[in-house]
Amino acid sequence: GAGVSQSPSNKVTEKGKDVELRCDPISGHTALYWYRQRLGQGLEFLIYFQGNSAPDKSGLPSDRFSAERTGESVSTLTIQRTQQEDSAVYLCASSLVGRFYGYTFGSGTRLTVV
């Protein structure tokens, strides 16, 4: 597609349940990123995939968070045993590698844990 696509756009889940968030990057973008944005706050780095290299997981806040990426396409972010503090907008972005033109972001998934 023309842009970065994220699904679902909204997700309400009960505390303790697992959730999966999906990101479809722009075709040809080898780098993919996940960020978390809590209400009224900035963007918090979670994880970074680039090509076939080992992902940079340094931003994942706990072992309840994990992410996968299939080749240079779709990525899923999984949060296990969700907690109320996981409520946030989860943003995915992709970029070309080489001369850096910045990221293109999706519209995000708003996760609410009740």
Dmax of the chain from CA atoms? Answer: 43
Choose the binding region for other proteins from 12-20, 68-76, 77-85, 93-101 (rule: CB under 8 A): 93-101
Rounded Cα gap, residues 13 and 9, in angstroms: 13
Identify which range of 14-22, 68-76, 77-85, 92-100 contacts other proteins by CB under 8 A: 92-100
The CB-of-32 to other proteins minimum distance in angstroms stands at: 11
Minimum CB–partner distance for residue 22 and other proteins (Å): 15
**Which residue among 25, 108, 111, 113 contacts other proteins (CB under 8 A)?**
108
Q: How far is the CB of 34 from other proteins (least distance, A)?
A: 12
Q: Which long-range contacts (CB under 8 A, 24 or more apart) does 95-98 make?
A: 95/29, 95/31, 95/33, 96/28, 96/29, 96/30, 96/31, 97/30, 97/31, 97/50, 97/51
Q: Which of residues 57-86 bind other proteins (CB under 8 A)?
A: none
